Amino acid sequence: MRILICGDVVGRSGRDALAKRLADLRKNLALDLVVVDVDNAAHGFGVTPEIAGQILDMGADILTGGNHLFDHGEMVAVLESEKRLLRPANMPSTTPGSGVGELTTQKGQKLLVVHLLGQTNMPVIGENPFDYMNRLLQKYRMGGNVQAIVVEFHAEVTSEKNALGHFLDGRVSVVVGTHTHIPTADVRILEHGTAFQTDVGMCGDYDSVIGMRKEFIVERFMSGYNHKKFAPAIGEATICGLLVELDDKTGLATSAKPLILGGLLKSTE
């Protein structure tokens, strides 16, 4: 089983890069599952119904959000009806939508995708993600009622992401971090077989400050306040993702590799 998890799509440049590449990636890499984080897809903040539909049409199976998912109010109704769009699972139970996606691949493999939000330095705070996963994994088990479990952890702090990876090692297929937009150099398979990366990076223009126009952000740090509304950088985007291959019987990882394509970062092609 082959899975690709793509980092936060930032603005039009990130969307254009996916539109150009994702269908070919899906075919050439024989991907069974594609997960795309869309937390910054609409001009850098959240996602709109139209953009979410476009990215699904490009070849994504599951979209994840994060702390910006509700920046556009019209997404509330979409979350109720579109099961392929996940909000963080550990948000309050009254929050619209679901953070757990169940799907079956074309090969008949049953997969579970879980989207979680970190607790540290995040504007939205929900249930402890460690407690949440302990409870969820009483219901789902790899090699039992699902063949693989993918966890995308939208969190600020590297230590929290590392801790969750070790906490879930051997119990899920993949734990990958998103939100900080910078790909970390720690892609590996943990001791008990779970693929892990602290942060997968972004699908956006790296001639920027985490996807936003660099001059605006530099000016903010120099002055201490915002002179202009933040806007996404518009140069050629780099697609950053994590490519994982799983054992079909156990659901554990047999291979984990970074995928970096286009733009300023050194390509893995």
Count other Cβ atoms within 10 Å, centred on residue 53. Answer: 16
Determine contact, residues 198/184, Cβ cutoff 8 Å: yes
> Residue 94: which residues within 8 A CB-CB, separation 6 or more?
none
Distance CA 205, CA 233 (A): 6
By the 10 Å C-beta count (0-12 exposed, 13-18 middle, 19+ buried), 199 is classed as: buried
State which amino acid sits at residue 168: L
Place of tokens 């793509």: 6
- b/e map 220-256, b = 16+ CB within 10 Å: beeeeeeeeeeebbeebbbbbbbbbbbbeeebbbeeb
Distance CA 193, CA 176 (A): 14
- Locate the DSSP E strands across 162-252: 174-178, 188-189, 195-197, 202-203, 239-246
Active site residue 68: yes
Distance CA 166, CA 178 (A): 17
Phi and psi at residue 240, to the nearest 5°? -115, 130
Q: Which of 43, 68, 166, 181 is catalytic?
A: 68
What residues are labeled active site?
A: 68
